[in-house]
C-alpha cells in the first residue's frame, strides 16, 4: 500500500496551511509515491503553501482564482505541462462563504453572497473537472475527489449557505460521474466530521458541533485530517477502480444516527 501512487501525478487545490485537510491528503499521497502540483489563493498564504509544496518536491505551485474559468484552465494546463501532458488525479478542497453568513439566520443571506458561496464551493469543481478531463483521458483515465459535509443533506445550525453549497456540490459529483465515466474518469466525495481547520474557525458554534459528534456518533470520537486523508487516498487509488459518484463518510458514523 505504501506505493499505491508510485508514478502517479496530480493537482491539489485548497491547501492553506499545514492543518488543512488538503495538505493532509497531499502529504498522504506524496508518502505513497505521488508527484503533486499545488495551487494557492492570494499572497497571504502563498509562502505557507510554497514551503509545504517544497517539502514534497513539487514541480509546480501556482495561484488560482477558481471563480475564473480562464484561470482554472490555465492552472490545469500548467499542471499538464509539468506532468508531460497528462494528469492522473485532482484533489478539490475548495469552499468559501462570508463569515457573516455562517452565523445568524440563513434567511438573511444576501443574493450576491449566496451565489458567491455556490460559485466557489460547487461550480469550481465543475470547472476543474472540465479542464482536467482531456489530461486524464490522455492517461487512459483518472480520478477526482472533493470535500463535502453532512450539512449539505441536513440542516446544521450556522452552516447556512455553506450547506446549500455542499448540496449543490454533492449533486454535481453525481452528474459529473456520469459524464466523466465514458473516459474512465471517476469522481467521489469525502464527507468528513468536524475537523479543526482554518476554515472551521469561521463557523459559529464549531466546538458544539465537535462535542455533539463525539457524544452521539457510534465510535464516540473526534475526526482528524489524517482520517480524511486516508479516505481520500482510497478513493483516488486503483483500489477504488469501480467506485464513482459516491460519498464516503469519515465521521465516526455520525451520519447514520437519527438523533
Q: Known catalytic residues?
A: 149, 159
DSSP string across 44-75: HHHHHHHHHHHHTT-SEEEE--TT-HHHHHHH
| Cα distance between residue 91 and residue 199, in whole Å | 17
Q: Tell me the three state secondary structure of residue 12.
A: strand
| Cα distance between residue 127 and residue 73, in whole Å | 8
Which strands make up the sheet holding 89-92, listed edge to edge?
60-63, 35-40, 9-13, 89-92, 142-148, 185-192, 247-250
End-to-end alpha carbon distance in the chain = 37
Strand runs labelled E in 25-160: 35-40, 60-63, 89-92, 142-148
| Cα distance between residue 22 and residue 125, in whole Å | 14
| Cα distance between residue 87 and residue 153, in whole Å | 31
Is the sign of the CA dihedral 45, 14, 25, 73 positive or negative? negative
Angle of helix 124-137 relative to helix 160-181, nearest 10 degrees, comes to 20
Q: CB neighbours of 237 closer than 8 A, spacing ≥ 6?
A: 4, 5, 143
Amino acid at each position: 500500500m505504501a506505493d499505491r501512487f508510485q508514478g502517479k501525478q496530480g493537482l491539489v487545490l485548497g491547501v492553506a496551511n499545514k492543518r488543512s485537510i488538503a495538505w493532509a491528503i497531499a502529504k498522504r499521497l506524496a508518502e505513497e509515491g505521488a508527484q503533486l502540483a499545488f495551487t494557492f489563493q492570494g499572497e497571504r498564504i502563498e509562502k505557507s503553501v510554497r514551503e509545504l509544496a517544497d517539502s514534497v518536491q513539487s514541480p509546480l505551485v501556482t495561484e488560482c482564482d477558481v471563480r475564473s474559468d480562464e484561470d482554472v484552465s490555465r492552472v490545469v494546463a500548467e499542471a499538464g505541462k509539468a506532468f508531460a501532458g497528462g494528469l492522473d488525479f485532482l484533489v478539490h478542497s475548495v469552499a468559501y462563504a462570508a463569515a457573516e453568513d455562517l452565523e445568524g439566520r440563513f434567511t438573511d443571506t444576501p443574493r450576491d453572497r449566496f451565489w458567491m458561496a455556490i460559485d466557489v464551493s460547487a461550480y469550481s469543481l465543475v470547472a476543474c473537472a472540465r479542464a482536467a478531463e482531456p489530461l486524464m483521458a490522455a492517461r487512459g483515465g483518472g480520478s477526482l475527489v472533493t470535500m463535502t459535509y453532512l450539512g449539505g443533506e441536513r440542516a446544521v445550525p450556522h452552516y447556512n449557505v455553506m450547506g446549500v453549497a455542499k448540496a449543490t456540490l454533492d449533486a454535481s459529483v453525481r452528474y459529473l460521474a456520469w459524464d466523466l465515466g465514458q473516459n474512465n474518469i471517476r469522481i467521489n466525495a469525502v464527507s468528513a466530521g468536524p475537523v479543526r481547520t482554518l476554515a472551521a474557525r469561521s463557523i459559529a458554534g464549531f466546538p458544539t458541533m465537535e462535542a455533539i459528534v463525539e457524544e452521539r456518533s457510534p465510535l464516540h470520537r473526534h475526526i482528524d485530517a489524517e482520517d480524511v486523508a486516508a479516505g481520500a487516498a482510497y478513493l483516488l487509488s486503483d483500489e477504488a477502480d469501480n467506485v464513482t459518484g459516491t460519498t464516503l463518510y469519515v465521521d465516526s458514523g455520525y451520519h447514520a444516527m437519527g438523533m
